[in-house]
Amino acid sequence: MGKLGISIYPERSTFEKDKAYLDLAHKYGFKRVFTSLLEINGDADSVLGSFKEVVDYANTLGMEVMVDINPDLFTQLNISYDDLSFFHEMGAYGVRLDLGFTGKEEAMMTRNPYGIKIEVNMSIGTSYIDNIMSYSPNRENLLGSHNFYPHRYSGLSKDHFFYCTGQFNKYNIHTAAFVNSHTATFGPWPTQDGLCSLEDHRDLALETQVKHLVQTDKIDDIMIGNAYASEAELKAMSEAFNAEYPVLKVTLCHDISELEKKVVLDELHSYRGDRSEYILRSTMTRVKYKDEAFPPHNTKNIERGDILVDNVEFGQYKGELQIALKPMENTGRVNVVGRIADDELFLLDYVKPWSNFKLVLEK
């Protein structure tokens, strides 16, 4: 089962604020906590003490803390990849390797006596994971997660994201990616334009980012990269992640009838599997409402994303709901009653034939 996660940065905040955020995330079912220990500035004992305080509190909530590190930190703390007792004593669930070793070391680390998870960087795109697998790691302790990118336009392209994800999917390795809060103000570095894995996600609503990753069916865990997300965002993210069916936001035309509104918003739609390039068909509405009148109105030409209801001029198709996948000429037999919200239009590419989905009014 996939999990939701948040990120906290003890060096850049206070324990009281981190504690309140952990409580809030726990309330909405978040299980994972990402934190970054890429370098230690100042007194090491003080820095590590503040980290341990947060980790201990997260553990009391049953949350799993993943600590992001790089090889330089091993040198700075005088610890070795073949002795993870330092992270065990800290109470960490796992260690994320921001920069990896050669593959052999990572495999050895997965066989640590504490059961500490080793999470490796999924965004590289080389044969890194193949190298690790060639050294027979303990797969139970091996995880993968994508990077996040604070610099606008530096995030992963969709093609690269899915190529890299596929490298891990083929070994059935548990995967994770980061999404971006719009109320959060900081991450591990002074400058950031949000913290997401996919560049296309940077300006999307948090729940839309989550819907996308869920509908790809390739990412297990989804974590907010920046802190602190608002309660409204945490709630929306939890609802999107745990939704029984995919949900698409819609806007409705001003002249939509009450009957058409019921057809759009009150029904659980099913994408008919013998699919067309032009329309996504939800055909059961024409059966349920076969005795109802659907007079023609708003029969303008059709654009991608338009929500359609066949009117009485379409004979036995009267009352069928469709979503336009391409522009089409309207012969006067189709009522345009609304459209998919612009920022979720791309999600049409991820609705699968024979799957169910819901349409909800954009707030």
Question: What b-and-e string marks burial along 128-162, b requiring 16 or more CB atoms within 10 Å of the CB?
Answer: bbebbbeeebeeebbbbbbbbbbeeeebbeeeebe
DSSP string, 184-243: --B-SSS--S--BSBGGGTTS-HHHHHHHHHHHT---EEEE-SB---HHHHHHHHHHHH-
- The reported pLDDT for the residue numbered 105 is 93
Residues 342, 329: Cα–Cα separation, whole Å? 21
Instruction: List C-alpha distances in Å: 79 to 72, 82, 352.
Output: 10, 9, 48
Name the band, by pLDDT with cuts 50, 70 and 90, for residue 214.
very high
State the chain's mean pLDDT as an integer.
95
Q: Give the per-residue pLDDT at 311.
A: 98
Q: In this predicted structure, what is the pLDDT of residue 121?
A: 96
Please state the φ and ψ torsions of residue 84, each to the nearest 5 degrees.
-95, 20
- Specify the pLDDT at position 50: 83
**Which of these, 119, 78, 125, 113, lies nearest to 96 by C-alpha position?**
119
Average pLDDT of span 168-194: 95
pLDDT, tens digit, 9 for 90 and up, residues 118-147: 999 999 999 999 999 999 999 999 999 999
Q: Domains of the chain by range and CATH?
A: 4-243 (3.20.20.70), 248-361 (2.40.100.10)
Average pLDDT over residues 175-179: 98
pLDDT band at 62 (very low <50, low <70, confident <90, very high): very high
Q: Determine the pLDDT at residue 38.
A: 66
Mean pLDDT over 281-292 rounds to 96
Evaluate if residue 288 carries a pLDDT over 90: yes
Q: Residues 94-123: pLDDT tens digits? A: 999 988 888 999 999 999 999 999 999 999
Collapsing DSSP states into helix, strand and coil, what is residue 271?
coil
Strand partners, 309: 321, 335
Give the CA distances from residue 182 to residues 206, 233, 257, in Å, rounded to whole numbers and listed in that order. Answer: 8, 9, 36
More confident residue, 142 or 188: 142
Say whether pLDDT at 280 is over 70. Answer: yes
Q: What is the pLDDT of residue 201?
A: 98
Predicted confidence at residue 70, as pLDDT, reads 77
pLDDT at 1: 82
Q: What is the mean pLDDT of residues 287-294?
A: 96
Residue 37 in this model has a pLDDT that exceeds 90: no
Which range is least confidently modeled, 45-54, 273-282, 288-297?
45-54
Give residue 298's pLDDT: 98
For residues 279 and 98, the model is more confident at 279
136 φ, ψ to 5°? Answer: 55, 65
Query: Tokens 């891990």 belong to which residue?
Result: 168
- Residue 35 vs residue 38, higher pLDDT: 35
Specify the DSSP element, H or E, that contains 69. Answer: strand 64-69
**Amino acid found at 332:** G
Q: From CA 103, how far away is CA 11, in angstroms rounded?
A: 30
Q: Which of 276, 253, 274, 273 is nearest to 264 (CA)?
A: 253
pLDDT of residue 268: 97
CB atoms within 10 A of CB 327: 12
Query: Lowest-confidence range among 55-64, 76-85, 187-196, 269-278?
Result: 76-85
Give me the pLDDT at residue 39, please: 67
pLDDT band at residue 54 under the 50/70/90 scheme? very high
Cis ω before 9 (30° cut-off from 0):
no
The whole-number pLDDT of residue 241 equals 98
- Amino acid 80: pLDDT: 83
pLDDT at 82: 86
